[in-house]
Structure 1
Amino acid sequence: MISKISNQTPLLQISDNQKKSTGEVHQQFSSYLKDALNEVNSNQIVSNEATRKLVNNEGIDLHDVLIAQQKASVAFQLTMEVRNKGVEAYQEMMRMQV
């Protein structure tokens, strides 16, 4: 038997006691941003290490090096695009008249 969708509870329901303060939201966003940047940095480090191993002939396959480089490149490009959009949004808010 399939139940009706209308009887289901909402996926995201925030009650009064679950609302977060501005400080908590800033803390979470800051933590999320820091984790994301650390992951991008980690991808860059893995790529550099794989390249070093390939150059020194330390038993790593070329395709593994290329995959690591692509992952690092894509992660960095995404980071730069997010940064650019953030700067654009900030500049647009600064142009608004109050």
Structure 2
Amino acid sequence: MIQNNMFNIQGAQQLQMKSTVENKPSTPAESIQSFGTYLQNALGSVAAQESQAHEMSNQFLIGKANVDQVMIASEQALLSLQLTSQVRNKVVEAYQEIMRTQL
């Protein structure tokens, strides 16, 4: 089964549990920093999947990996990259919509 590690439910549950444990109100700066850290970790996991796919293809070339392992790693990296680009597109669309809003 292929799992996307970029946006998983367990990570969101950990963030929810963390916010319920800390009863102090968070400032907007802390929220932005937390969100920035989350995005940085998500992009890091996408980069890690891409490097893993590259490593698997190198292992295949020297005969140490099966073709199915290489294909699974490649598809996981491709799907993560596509998800990342779609999220980026949605963020850009939302920004453009906000900028078009007349006050």
> What TM-score range do you get, normalising by the shorter chain?
0.7 to 0.9
Quick one: higher RCO (CA 8 Å, sep 6+), 1 or 2?
Answer: 2
- How far apart are residue 53 of structure 1 and its match? 1.2
Work out whether 1:52 is the aligned partner of 2:48.
Answer: no
Deviations along 1:29-78, one digit per CA (max 9) or x if unpaired, are 00000000000000000000101111122x11111111100110110000
Structure 1 stretches of 4+ with a deviation exceeding 6 A read 11-14
The CA distance in 2 between the partners of 1:18 and 1:81, in whole Å, is 34
RMSD across aligned positions (CA)? 1.9
% identical equivalent positions: 35
Q: Say which SS state the counterpart of residue 102 (structure 2) adopts.
A: coil
Aligned twin of 1:95: 100
2:84 is aligned, of 63, 66, 79, to 79
Aligned twin of 2:67: 62
Aligned twin of 1:21: 27
The CA distance in 1 between the partners of 2:83 and 2:53, in whole Å, is 16
Deviations along 1:4-42, one digit per CA (max 9) or x if unpaired, are xxxxxxx9997xx52210110011000000000000000
Q: Identify unmatched segments of 5+ residues in structure 1.
A: 1-10
Q: Identify unmatched segments of 5+ residues in structure 2.
A: 1-15
The CA distance in 2 between the partners of 1:45 and 1:22, in whole Å, is 34
Count residues with an aligned counterpart: 85
